[in-house]
Amino acid sequence: MPSRSASSYSRAVTTAVVCSALLVTGCGRSITTDITNVVLKSPEELADVDRTPGLSLQGFEYKKQAKRTFDHLPYQYTYVNLRTGKHVGSTNERNSRRAQGIVRLFIGHYAFTKGGEKEREQARRMLLHDDNAITDELYSVFPNSISWVADKYQLDATTANNYWAYSQTSSYDVAYFLGQLLDREPDATLLAVMRERQSLNPQQNYGSGVLPNIIGSQTAESDENKEYFSAGYGSDFVAVGAVNTSKTTLTDMMKYQVLGEGKPYPTETEKPSASETTSATSTSATLTSRAASGTANTKTAAVTKTATTTATKEPTDY
């Protein structure tokens, strides 16, 4: 797809906001979103600003981690409904793993916030086309972008690397970041570009991107084509997953864990055996499931498990 000029910022962005009961691929209506002059604010600046009605970050049950733990399991997932509080997450959802191209969300958000017209257009093309060359250039201009986002949005598992693809994050961090944008900055340029990507690049959508009612999405693949990351959001939820297997596996995992449909993943054979695992006590992850009705009498159930890892030494190339 050819590059677009800065003037195309005001083009119509096809979105599935109006189709809450349909898959995004079956939605034919659109709205126009002008992402040219959006000025984003930090969470501190938004402290006294009214949030999106009906949404809340309580489902994340955020508590600052005492220390960072590297994730050695081949999968990770996080789903949070900001309206009902429903939270589905793997026990290792807050452990750090190689971020690959999903950090383009962080670099892009910084560029939309701090950059000029040139950087904003570059960020848009970077996100739409997974452009490594543009990512290299933007990261050289904004080397503190990942750290800035991690600090501003309290992303405890996220750390920057001199090479952006070797930075680390977690499914929880990416979901928490997008959740804060939905809750506090629903007009964020990043969200608009993710909507545009979802509508323009359906062939790139897998994992979270194929869930019903997804409005915006972003995917990432490692150079080795063995690691896959996907992030998506709807009008009131976020869903993020990562696997070290295949696109199909990532899609199967998100469908099974979020919708309860399709092929189970991870299965018992994918989970580490007791003899292979060591306890990661610093990240006792909580998998919380709340009733979807969101009524005053809703009962909540929390299952707390201790996350496990298959090794104690971090890979040298990470």
Along the 318 residues of the chain, how does pLDDT read in single tens digits?
444 444 443 333 333 333 333 333 333 322 333 434 444 444 444 444 456 789 999 999 999 998 999 999 999 999 999 999 999 999 999 999 999 999 999 999 999 999 999 999 999 999 999 999 999 999 999 999 999 999 999 999 999 999 999 999 999 999 999 999 999 999 999 999 999 999 887 666 799 999 999 999 999 988 676 899 999 999 999 999 999 999 999 999 999 999 999 888 887 656 654 433 333 333 333 333 333 333 333 333 333 333 333 332 333 222
Cα–Cα distance between 200 and 186 in angstroms, integer?
21
Q: Which of 213, 298, 250 is nearest to 90 (CA)?
A: 250
Cα–Cα distance between 7 and 123 in angstroms, integer?
14
Phi, then psi, of 274 in degrees rounded to 5: -60, -35
CATH topology classification for 67-309: Beta-lactamase (3.40.710)
Quote the pLDDT of residue 234. Answer: 96
Sole residue written with tokens 């899609």: 251
Report yes or no: 81 and 112 within 8 Å, Cβ to Cβ. no
Quote the pLDDT of residue 266. Answer: 84
Quote the pLDDT of residue 20. Answer: 34
Residues sharing a CB contact under 8 Å with residue 96, sequence separation 6 or more, in sequence order: 68, 69, 70, 71, 157, 158, 159, 168, 169, 170
Helix axes 104-114, 171-184, angle to 10 degrees: 30
Report yes or no: 134 and 115 within 8 Å, Cβ to Cβ. no
pTM of the model: 0.71
- Please give the C-alpha separations between residue 309 and each of 14, 62, 252, 254, 266, in angstroms, as whole numbers: 41, 22, 22, 21, 15
Q: Is the peptide bond before 264 cis (omega within 30 degrees of 0)?
A: no
Quote the pLDDT of residue 223. Answer: 60
Cα–Cα distance between 172 and 238 in angstroms, integer?
10
Torsion from C-alpha of 38, 15, 172, 96, nearest 10 degrees: -80
Cα–Cα distance between 156 and 7 in angstroms, integer?
37
Quote the pLDDT of residue 269. Answer: 58
Which amino acid belongs to residue 258?
V
Quote the pLDDT of residue 226. Answer: 84
